[in-house]
A and B are shown apart, each in its own frame.
Chain A
Amino acid sequence: MISTILAQVGDFVSPVIDWHALAPELVLVVGINLVLFIDLWVDESKKWAMATLTGFVLLGAFLPVVTLAVVGDDVRSMFDGRYVIDEYALVLKAVFLLTAYVVVLMSQTELEEGGYYQGEFYVLLLASVLGMVMMTSSRDLVSIFVALELLSIPAYMLAAWRKRDRKSNEAGVKYYLLGVFASAVLLYGMSFLYGTTGSTRLVDIGAELGDELMAMQVLGIVFVIAGFGFKISAVPFHTWAPDTYEGAPTPVTAFLSVAAKAAGFVALVPLIFIAFPAADSVYQPFLWVLAALTMTVGNVIALRQTNIVRLLAYSSVSQGGFILMPLAVVGTGDGADSALKAVVFYLIVYAFMNLGAFAIVIAVARKTRSGNITSYGGLFSYSPGLATLMTIFLASLAGIPPFGGFWAKFNVFRAMLDAGGWAAASLAVVGAVNSVIAVGYYMGVLREMWMRPVPDGDTTTITPPAPIWAALGITAAATLVLGIFPGLVLRFGDLQDLTGALGG
């Protein structure tokens, strides 16, 4: 027994490791340990330093992403193409790191004033980001699953971070139970795929799934997509989202609704483009229904919300539906390239505009101590700057030019029409109707801020702390710049790159 294992060890050839390509992940691993250990020796009054340190870790991890992009060789592939650094991976790594950086900026004062466990918070945040960064490169069922768990488990704890708040506990428990359930479904589906194709590599699965699908393979695909459906809070798997978003601390909500959701999509994209292309008769109708339901249900419920965080939660559900739209038509025509570009662009823009909206929510709640939409009454009269920024973010979410969100929606519709066919066209119509419905609730908030009186008559100007300003600055600048020059990031997400990595 032991001898056979030893014999295997003897045969083991160490894989070639491209240290440069792995640098972002390595920096994060070192950073997590640094924060964890330094936190032990830091006095309670100096815990703010942990936020700064985390910020530096994230920037440190960002650096190799930049150098990798600058060097820009061919696709770097490791472990037989199970871990790939291509343009798609790099862009999304950058997005996750930036998102996390903005979340740190947003959390800093929240945590200090709330007396939370600061050091641990940042350790978990970094661990979750590490999972996301790994997810962008994973091209294998196992590494996808590991990355998913790495990013989810810290997130469950972060959601329950306000320990003495019952709503926060509820948020954490709900997220945890449904998340674990989703992981189980996902894993079950993956086991079917592995069992029937004999490999966990996406490329192999893609090659094995032929025109004749076995029932088990169909089930596997459906389970995998359903599992990710939970992560991206697609209807009908969205039920955890509003409660979790409302109960969790607002910076965590921002993180979940942007980064965790994006991570789900990031995993879904290679699955669909690399592993499932032959199974388009299975995933297309499924995603079609998911996308249509997600947009519509998210929107209709959002119309009735009175709490700003819940409103943003449902809005993020419906935005998820828009991101799903192009994925539902991949393969029906020559629109696959447009579809990939649309998804990547949407994820980037969505990250900034949604984070920005949450930053405003944090800033305003510092004064009003309320999450009611009515508490935004008259914001424009006493804090015109914040009101204007919120207007930009919401208008962008609603898809009004000249803000980034317009191009996100535009590219989605472009991809739909590029794909052609009745399925795509009808889904585009559903999307168009929904984008008009969505205007209704975003406008509701705008109306509150610009046209209604101040509810309690307190018109002292809100002065957000510096980190919040920084977060607002980054997100607003990105939303505006991407609105005027969408070409800057629109070129990312070349299908060639993603599928070019097929051979590994």
Chain B
Amino acid sequence: METITDQNWLLSVGTFLPLAGVLVMLFVPKSEEYWHKVIALVTAGATLGVGIYTLTQFDYDQSAKMQFFVDTEWIEVIKSNYIVGLDGISLPLYFLSMVITFLVIVYTWDNMPEAGNAKAFLILMLVLQTGMAGTFIAQDLILFFVFFEVVLLPMYFMIGVWGGENRQYASLKFFLYTMFGSALMLVAFLALFFQTDAQSFSFAHLVEAGPLVDKDVQVWIFSGMFIGFAVKVPMFPFHTWLPDAHTEAPTQGSVILAAILLKLGTYGFVRIAIPMLPEGAVEWAPWIGLLAVIGIIYGALGCLAQTDMKRLIAFSSVAHMGFVMLGISTLTTFGINAALFGMVAHGLITGMLFFIAGSVKHRYHTLEIKRMSGLLTQVPKLAWILGFCAMASLGLPGLAGFWGEFPAILSAYNPGFGLPEETFRTFMVVAAIGTVLAASYLLWLYQRMAFGEPTEEFSGHGPAAHAVGAAPNDEHEHGDHDLHDVTLVEWIAWIPILIAIIVLGVYPHLLFNFIDPAVTELVGRLGESIGP
């Protein structure tokens, strides 16, 4: 694999900078909430700054190559090196993680979850950021695994400490599922290491050596990785942790979980499992496709059955990740491009939906769909944004969601490497039905929540209606009632996402432009090792 090593300090700085903020915050007393927020914001802002600088320095004409490449000794004895690099596949996700973390910290400015303790909350957030960014730049299996796991504990605490009523159950479930997946994944990594010549864990080496492993062995190793990544995605039937985790997590946790953490799994497929074990991938592809479309339909039907807005969005994630996995399972340039685009789009749109859910909860102290109505009359701006995101989520052309979904479905028409066409065309039809279901559950959600008159419970706007729950701390802006519309802080946190949804929807080439060469090379290499 060709590499470019200019400015190779950039990625390490971008990844570990948040830890510098953590270090400072450790020495500031817990009571100084304001300063904690400032430090976290500055750190995340600086990290984002490094990210933007990285964007400007990235050579888009050579996006198939690893750029800002570093390869230094780390743990010599086990032949694992500190190798990081960025190419067209990882760039969008790497940058997205920085943007989302920054915006989430902005949002936290006056939406601190009820349990308080901004210090711990923000420290965990910054540690999470390091783990996420690190996963996307790691070019060594062991380094990848360590970063992949670093996100585990902070997210566990974020759900378990700042979450909803059922938080302890949800957080443990999240943890055990992921732990189980990673244990198998690690064994698979080690097996791959010893099945190749036990020389190196570096991606570049394994991409060369992995395809030479016997087919049967590849299939076995792939299955270990499959479970590890599929739990994270999550694919049906490993998805059951997701609705609980999403529902119970604080808004910030849900946003990060949806926008970035789920992508660690799909990214793992694209970056590790498929290129290193091409023959295993071909064997597994129809099954992945099958589970993906089951996920699409199951997620959509699950959505139709939900009574809780947040839970509904969580199930919609299962469906959307189904489209992403369908795209990947076709093993075509077209499908994987779509999948990568879909990851970014889903990150923005579903992240945004969780933001909205958090703000609705903040105002109404409930997310039960049937208790709410007439949002358009009470909080019109919020309701419009919800409508916008619902449209984006159901894949309306012109918005980002479309470019993830539509090409993914289309790619199943003509899967690569002799995968059975009939099977995949059936998948295509089922997935297409899934989009109809998606439209129905999202529109139904919107209809029930936004249209009509406000329900009696909330029609008085009176604070008396909200005797239960803590009083929101930004009440003063609207004086007499707390059903205020979108606040300044919310605007600041949301506008970048909304703009990105439109821009990517209108001009998808912005991403495809540099994803495509990287994906083309990846699929080309697949072709070399399996034949057409």
Contact = CB atoms under 8 A, between A and B. Distances in A.
Interface stretch (A68-76, A167-175, A410-418): A410-418
B149 A436 contact: no
A436 B78 contact: no
Contact of B194 (A341, A411, A417): A417
A401 interface: yes
B150 A402 contact: yes
A68 B386 CA distance: 70
Interface in B41-80: 73-78
A487 interface: yes
Contacts of A491: 76-77
A490 B176 CA distance: 29
Nearest to A381: B117
A432 B190 contact: no
Interface stretch (B100-108, B179-187, B469-477, B501-509): B179-187
A451 B167 contact: yes
Contact of B150 (A401, A411, A435, A439): A401
Contacts of A414: 78, 190
B152 A440 contact: no
Contacts of B150: 401-402
25 contacts: A384-B120, A391-B153, A400-B153, A401-B149, A406-B149, A410-B186, A411-B78, A413-B186, A417-B190, A417-B193, A418-B198, A420-B194, A432-B187, A435-B183, A436-B180, A439-B176, A447-B172, A451-B161, A451-B167, A486-B78, A487-B74, A487-B77, A490-B77, A491-B76, A491-B77
A428 B161 CA distance: 34
A432 B183 contact: yes
B160 interface: yes
B191 interface: yes
Given A384-B120, A436-B180, A443-B172, A400 B75 contact: no
Contacts of A381: 117
B157 to A, nearest CB: 6
B284 interface: no
Given A417-B187, A417-B194, A432-B184, A400 B120 contact: no
Contacts of B193: 417
A451 B157 CA distance: 8
Mostly, the B contact residues are helix
Interface in B116-165: 117, 120, 142, 145-146, 149-150, 152-153, 156-157, 160-161
Given A391-B153, A402-B150, 11 more contacts: A401-B149, A406-B149, A410-B186, A413-B186, A417-B187, A417-B190, A417-B194, A451-B167, A485-B75, A487-B76, A491-B77
Contacts of A341: 77
Given A341-B77, A443-B172, A487-B75, A451 B146 contact: no
A338 to B, nearest CB: 9
A286 interface: no
Nearest to A439: B179
A395 interface: yes
Nearest 4 pairs between A and B by C-beta? Answer: A487-B75, A401-B146, A490-B77, A401-B149
A486 B193 CA distance: 19
A237 interface: no
A447 B160 contact: yes
Contacts of A401: 145-146, 149-150
A486 to B, nearest CB: 6
A439 B186 contact: no
Nearest to A335: B194
A450 interface: yes
B175 interface: yes
B30 interface: yes
A450 B76 CA distance: 37
Contacts of A400: 149, 152-153, 179
B176 A440 contact: yes
B168 interface: yes
B176 A450 contact: no
A490 B75 contact: yes
Contacts of B191: 417
Nearest to A413: B190
Contacts of B76: 487, 491
